[in-house]
Amino acid sequence: MIRRQNFQNLSWFYDLYKRSALDLDPPYQRRSVWNDAFKAYFIDTVLLNYPAPAIFLYEEISAEGTSMYHVVDGKQRITTILEFVQGKFAVGEKSELTALRGKYFEGLDENVRREFWSYQLLVEYIPTNDEGVINSIFDRINRNVAKLTAQELRHARLDGEFIQLSEQLSEWQQSVLPANFPRFAAQSRKQMKDVEFTALLLLLLEEGPRGYSQDDLDKAFADRDSEWEARVECDARYRAAISYIAGVLAADEDLAVTRLRNQADFYAVFGAIDSLQQDGQLGSAEQSAAALRRFVDTVDLLEAREADLALANYFDAARSASNDKGPRETRVRYMRSILAVKQA
């Protein structure tokens, strides 16, 4: 396979687009959607003249001598450039170039616009449009490049209220709860999976049990980046629930090495405790420790699940599709039922 690559400036892409020689939607195009924060971050990258990943194109030359360029990878970058120059959004309010914040493309100085058009992207030309070959190429690229996780990318692109509190609470929680409770592999912590989990718990406080794809999480972070009305309340409730859990583990230290370390179980315990705190139906830490001890001693026993349908439903909800809305609701509901103090 003969490979070819070169650098092309943004005016080249724009010229192709105006001549309808740029196909942004071939059938093998990688699907992804950038929110406004990601778009602003990329435009800032261009304006700062920082490097960006390569664009992958398939060049189709007709018998009449015309060329059509099909975008294999890089659609979101190109689309973001086109939307920016068409005035669909302005330079982000968090741009490192403070003098340009809030300005639309047409409002930029002539020199800035000229430099923008001169920005160069590396272009890799794929010599085939065979989808099988394209998939093989990208599989090899992904195997040989250490890709950032979604949360690492959010950390790089966002610096607002929601991500800041998620990171702060994740760090604080480690000082309050026993080591590695809830449990994360060392590599997962390096990839900020613990911060992502903290964000899910904050969303649980605000929206109730739900399932979130990575795209859903991207939107949740972006929507709460510049302003987050529920921050103070969620911060207080989060700390209250975690502090209570710390008290439960102090009452029965061995609970820290049971299945409650699992993220699915911890999510349920956290959600139930917060909900009961809001309703005034939560007993003492010692009472909850005793209830959770009975739970961990029986949930893995088949005969116990056969005798208790609710326990069996919890067990199933913690195993398959455990991050979906339904299983999360089932687990939180069951934990509420065993931790709630019966009203006189």
Residue 85, domain extent: 4-147
Whether 63 and 182 share a structural domain:
no
* pLDDT 10s digits, 149-198: 888 888 877 878 999 999 999 999 999 999 999 999 998 998 999 999 99
Same domain, 192 and 106: no
For 280, left (φ over 0), alpha (ψ -120 to 50), or beta? left
Evaluate whether 4 touches 127 at the Cβ level (below 8 Å): yes
Q: What is the pLDDT of residue 219?
A: 92
Give domain status of residue 344, yes or no. no
* 76 and 165 fall within a common domain: no
- Decide if pLDDT at 97 tops 80: yes
CA distance 73 to 29: 6
What is the rounded CA–CA span in Å between residue 116 and residue 108? 10
The predicted pLDDT at position 35 comes to: 78
Q: How far apart are CA 260 and CA 216, in angstroms?
A: 26
The answer to whether the CB of 91 falls within 8 A of the CB of 103 is yes
Do residues 13 and 161 both lie within one domain?
A: no
| Same-domain pairing of 118 and 18 | yes
> Could you tell me if 329 and 216 lie in one domain?
yes
Residues 170 and 310 grouped into a single domain: yes
Supply the pLDDT for residue 33. Answer: 66
Query: 121: closest CA among 24, 20, 34, 11?
Result: 11
- Predicted confidence at residue 74, as pLDDT, reads 87
Parallel/antiparallel/unpaired status of strands 67-73 and 55-61: antiparallel
Helix (H, G, I), strand (E, B) or coil at 124: strand
The reply to whether 98 falls in a domain is yes
Q: What is the pLDDT of residues 213-268, one digit of tens each?
A: 998 999 999 999 889 999 999 999 999 999 999 999 999 999 999 999 999 999 99
Q: Is 86 in the same domain as 161?
A: no
Is 241 inside any structural domain? yes
The answer on 282 and 248 residing in a single domain is yes
Model confidence pLDDT, tens digit, residues 29-75: 555 567 788 899 999 999 999 999 999 998 888 889 889 999 888 88
